[in-house]
Amino acid sequence: MLRQTRAKWLALATALLVALMAAVFAALRNAPRAPERAPASAPGSDAGRRAFEHLGCTMCHSIGGVGNPASRLDGVGKRLDRGELRAWTTGTGIAAERLPAGISRRKAAARDDPQLEALLDYLERSKQ
C-alpha cells in the first residue's frame, strides 16, 4: 500500500500547493494594502437604503457594512455624479460598456423600479 499512501500525500501536497497559490494570488491583488477603512455608518435608513437591499445590490456591493464587502460603495457619491450613478445602477451607458453583459442584464431590473430615484439619492448621499 506504499503506492496508495504516496498517492494520498501527493494529492494532499497538490491541494496545499493550490491553496497556497490562491492565498498568494489574493495577497498580490491586495498588495499595497489599502487601509481598511471602518465602514462609514449608513446614511439614514430610508426607502433608498431598503431599495439597495431588495434590488439585490447587496449581493455584489456594500454600503456602511451592509452587503458584500468585496465591492464597497462607501463614498461613491463623492466620486460619481447622479448620471454616472444612474448608469452604473441600471447597467446603461458607460456602465453597459464596462460591465460583463450578464451583470448589466441583472442591473436592468432597477431601471423601472419605482424606488430608483430614492436609491440614487441614497448613493449620492454616501460621501465617505
Partner 1 sequence: MSAGRGFTWDFAMALGYAGLAMLGVQFALTARFRRATAPFGIDIVYYFHRYLAVFALAIVCAHYAIVRLYGPAALGSADPRIAPAYMTAGRLALLLFVAVVALALARRALRLEYELWRVTHAFLATAAYALALWHLLGAGGYLDSLWKEALWAGYGAFWVVLIAYVRLVRPFRVARSPWRVAAVRPERGRVWTLVLESPSGARLQFAPGQFAWLSLGVSPFAMREHPFSIASSAARPERIELSIKELGDFTATIKDVKPGETAWLEGPHGTFGVDLRPQAPGYVFVAGGIGIAPIMSVLRTLADRGERRPLVLFYGNRVWERVAFREELDSLARRLDLRIVHALLEPPQEWSGERGYIGREVLERHLPAARAQLEYFLCGPTPMTLAVERALAGLGVPAARVHSEIFEWA
Residue 19 binds which entry of partner 1, ligand HEC, none, CB below 5-8 Å type-dependent: partner 1
Q: Does 6 bind partner 1 (CB under 8 A)?
A: yes
> Residue 108 interacts with partner 1 (CB under 8 A)?
no
The amino acid at residue 38 is: A
Nearest to 117 by CA among 94, 90, 92: 90
How many residues bind to partner 1 according to rule CB under 8 A?
A: 40
Site for partner 1 contains 45 (CB under 8 A): no
**8 Å CB contact between 69 and 81:** no
104 binds, among ligand HEC, partner 1, none (CB under 5 to 8 A by kind): none
Classify each residue of 78-116 as buried b or exposed e, where b means 16 or more C-beta atoms within 10 Å of its C-beta.
Answer: eebeeeebbbbbbbbeebbeebeeeebebbeebeeeebb
Angstrom distance (rounded) from CA 3 to CA 82: 65
| Residues within window 14-73 making contact with ligand HEC, judged by CB under 6 A | 55-57, 59-61, 71, 73
Q: What are the residues binding partner 1 (CB under 8 A)?
A: 1-4, 6-8, 10-12, 14-15, 18-19, 21-23, 25-27, 29-32, 34, 56, 58-60, 62, 66-71, 100, 102-103, 106
